[in-house]
Amino acid sequence: MKRFLETAAIIKGVSAMVFAGQVIVYALAGAFFGLPGIPFAFIWQALALASITGILQFVAFSDAVFKRMKYALRLVVFVLPLYAALAGFAAAFGWFPFSVGAWLLFTLIFLFVCGVLTVTVEMYARITGKKYTDRLNEYIGRAS
Verify that 40 and 3 share a domain, yes or no. Answer: yes
Q: What is the pLDDT of residues 115-134, one digit of tens each?
A: 999 999 888 888 888 888 87
Q: Give dist(CA 28, CA 42) in Å, integer.
A: 14
Residue 87 shares a structural domain with residue 108? no
For the stretch 19-56, pLDDT in tens is 999 999 989 988 998 888 888 999 999 999 999 999 99
Instruction: Tell me, yes or no, whether 101 and 79 share the same domain.
Output: no
Domains: count for the chain: 2
For residues 118 and 47, membership in a common domain is answered with no
Q: 48 and 103, same structural domain?
A: no
Residue 126 half-sphere exposure toward CB, CA atoms < 13 A: 6
Domain that holds residue 40: 1-95
Taking the CA atoms of 96, 99, 101 and 103 in sequence, report the sign of the dihedral they define. Answer: positive
* Co-location of 135 and 65 in the same domain: no
Asked whether the beta carbons of 56 and 4 are under 8 A apart, the reply is: no
- How many CB atoms are closer than 10 A to CB 56? 19
> 78 and 144 share a domain?
no
83 and 114 assigned to the same domain = no
Same domain (yes/no): 87, 140: no
pLDDT tens for residues 69-120?
898 899 999 999 999 999 999 999 988 888 999 999 999 999 999 999 999 9
The SS3 call for residue 84 is helix
Q: What is the dihedral of CA 27, 29, 35, 40, to 10 degrees?
A: -40
